Amino acid sequence: MAAEKVTHLNGRDVTEPPRKRPRLQFHLSTAIVLTFVAGTLMWANLRADEKFFPEFFMGPPQPGGVKYEIFDSLPKEHPEKFVTIRWRYFGWPSIALTEGRDVRADNHQPLDFPAGSSLRTSGLLCDIAVAIAIFIFVGYVCERLLHRKPI
């Protein structure tokens, strides 16, 4: 690479090395688009997909150590004493976190028991890989559209 000559400084020639563009420099408009993409990905990953399992209902605790009695349908008498399970799934496109909680069968209000949750590492890694791929793709497309020559 040849150095550029500048002849404006005190009337003499001064050689100055050419400026290098940083590798990760991108336009402000690309940063704004990537901010919206990040917000959309966060919304997709943090919203809960809820599923109830009304195909069975658990009755109140029974004497003798049996915790629940299982019913195929919700009995008409005292429905407030019966519970079912609410599952909440988090993550996109894969499920990264699953949370199960006992809820009242009649109005789906959570009970005072702590929720059980499990983290799925493979789903979390898949979600992270997809998010990085989407970021790289959108950033590349934005920069290519900004650097194309007008017709």
- In tens, the pLDDT along 49-73 reads 887 765 556 665 555 544 555 666 6
Per-residue pLDDT reduced to its tens digit, 98-147: 988 777 767 777 776 667 889 999 999 999 999 999 999 999 999 999 98
In contact, 86 and 50? CB cutoff 8 Å: yes
Confidence class for position 24, pLDDT limits 50, 70, 90: confident
pTM: 0.66
Q: What share of the chain is helix, strand, coil (3-state, %, to 5)?
A: 30, 25, 40
Quote the tokens at residue 19: 């400026």
Residue ranges covered by each domain of the chain: 29-147
